[in-house]
Structure 1
Amino acid sequence: MNKQTSFSVCGESLSAPMHICGFFDSREQQYEVIIPYIMEGLEANNKVINILEGDRHSEHCRCLAGNGISITEKLLSGQLEVLASENTYIKNGEFAAEKMYKMLEQTLLSASRAGYDSVRACGDMVWALKNLPGTDELLEYEARLNLLTPQHSVSLICMYDINSFSQSAITDALLTHPYVIKDGKISKNPHYVEPLELLSSISNSRSGALKS
């Protein structure tokens, strides 16, 4: 396991590695949580990665700049990366869970080699609503992240708009995140299932479906 590093979110002090599910009912509520989290990371020599739809990048960068973040400087230095869902989660119009997992793993290794103390990442999950090929692998992917994160000093926040996702999608998200943000507060998630247990259950379900 990698060394633990402290970070704050929703006014609470926690330790990385951490995989968090954030439920938000507005863009404003989302930014109230992630802006302080991003700013603290940049000040603490953390690598900070934001992944969201490409058409949101200009608005997102304006919001960061409006809160005193030197966008150009941080982007040029590589400490801050603002990536598009279309070039990461759903590159080539499909969700390839294995490719995304390996990309994140390489990013974490590269950040460590570059001398960053920790990595903070926020990913907007709205891409999953497009139902592109491979989206059914999301539950397995999220479970596997709980095997990857303990090997690195990283905190991940997967951001869900509760007004857009179905109850079943929200239930799935709860199975794969040890901590959850709701109503601007973070707490331990009682619905979390350990990754090996959940992956075994997914595998057994698939095997049963193939036989039937």
Structure 2
Amino acid sequence: MEIQQELQRMGHGDHLCLVYENAAEQWDAVVPYMAQGLARNEACLYVIDDRSLDEVRQAFISRGVDVDAHQRSGQLLFATKRDAYLCFGTFDPTSMISFLEQTARQALAAGRTGFRVTGEMTWALGHECGGDRLIEYESLLSNFFPGSRVTAICQYNRTRFGADVIRDVLRTHPVAILGNQVCPNLYYESPAMVLGQDSTEQRVEWMIQQLQRFRSAERTLERAVQARDDFLSVASHELNTPLTSLKLHIQSLTRALGRGDLSSFSPQKMMGVFDRTDRQLRRLSRLVSDLLDVSRIHAHKLTLHLEHVELWELVADVVERMSGEFARAGMRLDIAPGPQVKGLWDRGRLEQVVINLLTNALKYGAGRPVHVEVSSDGARARLAVKDQGLGIREEDRDRIFERFERAISANEASGLGLGLYIAREIAQAHGGTISVESQLGKGSTFTVTLPLDVEG
């Protein structure tokens, strides 16, 4: 679900409100939020009020949380308003924040990575508890959370609270969960503003900043939409090119067969057809693979299958496999003799990095020689691919590693603009880096560094 992916981005210091209208909206946000905390070894506290303990436990269990096991370990706790908000007899914002600080310290001392809390805020509807200070408390929390190891979701049942309270709830939470969306809150105000401690000048400045922030977000969205449309246009062209070539090969053979022209099926001509077909299929396969990898990276699902790999042998094998493509382009490709450099890496993913860098050199190398080198400084392995081609402007050197980006326009070179982006993500997933040194008109050197398997 979208909300689960959005909640994955939440972490220590975040202060969210959940404004829900039914049980499905409540549990779809709260259960994955708490389950993520359990998976991250955080202490997790659920403060019950509107629901019964049995209802809450069943909601967790039905969504796959082993409640009993987490309770036995002491990682998951359930409390009532008397145990938490009213533990001092009456509600006091400062005392409640002290309670959160103390509980977080206890969690860290017990070896937990942080403290995660969510509470049903209907307790504030009572008359005996000092709930009139609720908004003061929510506002002061925005001073407490940043820099802490605590994160919280405050749950507000919209069918129980009046519009005046919901309005103030939205004013006091930097992030709001509404339906199945996690929304950065443009209506959030600083504690000083909520408590009436700011000046008119400060409020005007805030209003101007909010307008500017909103317009900036609009521009970012507009650029994203344009980038998507540009990508779809390029992707359609790139995928159609090998498909059109394959279609033409089939049509040509079909026509020859219809005419009874068996000379078109001689071993020599068929080998040429098979060779061209193989190249187009490999190109199509790489395009589809790149699109799938972008999807995996975006979903944080780029997995590595680690094994002991000798880097020079891997690179030399890829160079040999791609030498035919370079020969057809009239370009020389060579690899320098290198030392044995072994690491605990994903063989297939590293082959993908080498292929992407060599494909980039083939595309932008201007027909000149390409040189590959593998080396090591004892702590890290180094792979360098050097071409003598077009080069890259200084202002473009960071940009070319982003999705769908090129140093030149799509009309000047084929491809989706994904090769360097995927290479960077693979290198970083291994704990490594990728960089480029270049001079316009004098070529580029792409360098990948990877941590060595010191025990291997």
Query: Deviation of residue 184 (structure 1)?
Result: 1.7
Query: Deviation of residue 9 (structure 1)?
Result: 5.1
Match in the other structure for 1:120: 116
Q: Retained in 2: the 8 A contact 1:17–1:155? A: yes
Pair 1:69–1:96, CA change in 2 (3 A): same
Local SS of the residue matching 2:52: helix
Mean CA deviation greater in 105-114 or 87-96: 87-96
Any unmatched runs of 5+ in structure 1?
1-7, 203-212
Q: Retained in 1: the 8 A contact 2:3–2:180? A: no
Matched, 1:154 2:150: yes
| Whole-angstrom distance in 2 between the partners of 1:121 and 1:36 | 13
Matched, 1:97 2:99: no
Q: Retained in 1: the 8 A contact 2:50–2:122? A: no
Match in the other structure for 2:27: 31
Matched, 1:176 2:172: yes
Task: Choose the corresponding residue for 1:185, options 181, 186, 189.
Answer: 181
Coordinate RMSD, CA, aligned: 2.1
Local SS of the residue matching 2:60: helix
- Aligned residue identity for 2:62: G
| Whole-angstrom distance in 2 between the partners of 1:120 and 1:9 | 18
- Aligned residue identity for 2:5: G
Q: Retained in 2: the 8 A contact 1:51–1:123? A: yes
| Whole-angstrom distance in 1 between the partners of 2:40 and 2:137 | 29
Matched, 1:59 2:55: yes
Aligned length: 195
Mean CA deviation greater in 193-202 or 96-105: 193-202
Query: Deviation of residue 198 (structure 1)?
Result: 2.9
The normalised TM-score by structure 1 is 0.83
Match in the other structure for 1:205: none
Local SS of the residue matching 2:82: helix
Q: Please tell me whether Structure 1 or Structure 2 has the larger radius of gyration of its CA atoms.
A: 2
Query: Deviation of residue 54 (structure 1)?
Result: 8.2
**Alpha-carbon deviations, 1:62-119, whole Å to 9, x = none?**
2222223222221121111111113221347632323222111101111122221122
| Whole-angstrom distance in 2 between the partners of 1:126 and 1:193 | 23
| Whole-angstrom distance in 1 between the partners of 2:45 and 2:157 | 19
Between the two proteins, what is the percent identity of the paired residues?
29
Match in the other structure for 2:44: 48
**Alpha-carbon deviations, 1:115-168, whole Å to 9, x = none?**
211222111101111233411111111111111111312221000001111111
Pair 1:81–1:9, CA change in 2 (3 A): farther
| Whole-angstrom distance in 1 between the partners of 2:88 and 2:108 | 28
- Aligned residue identity for 2:108: S
Match in the other structure for 1:5: none
Q: Retained in 2: the 8 A contact 1:10–1:33? A: yes
Matched, 1:11 2:16: no
Q: Larger strand proportion, structure 1 or 2?
A: 1
**Alpha-carbon deviations, 1:151-197, whole Å to 9, x = none?**
31222100000111111101111111000011221111111111234
| Whole-angstrom distance in 2 between the partners of 1:124 and 1:178 | 18
Mean CA deviation greater in 183-192 or 58-67: 58-67
Query: Deviation of residue 11 (structure 1)?
Result: 2.3
Local SS of the residue matching 2:164: helix
Local SS of the residue matching 2:45: strand
Q: Retained in 2: the 8 A contact 1:48–1:80? A: yes
Any unmatched runs of 5+ in structure 2?
199-456
Matched, 1:76 2:63: no
**Alpha-carbon deviations, 1:8-45, whole Å to 9, x = none?**
95421234310001100011210011111111221121
Q: Retained in 2: the 8 A contact 1:122–1:158? A: yes
Local SS of the residue matching 2:91: coil
Pair 1:67–1:97, CA change in 2 (3 A): same
| Whole-angstrom distance in 2 between the partners of 1:34 and 1:28 | 10
Regions of 4+ moved over 4 Å? none
Q: Retained in 2: the 8 A contact 1:54–1:86? A: no
Local SS of the residue matching 2:146: helix
| Whole-angstrom distance in 1 between the partners of 2:3 and 2:106 | 24
| Whole-angstrom distance in 1 between the partners of 2:130 and 2:100 | 17
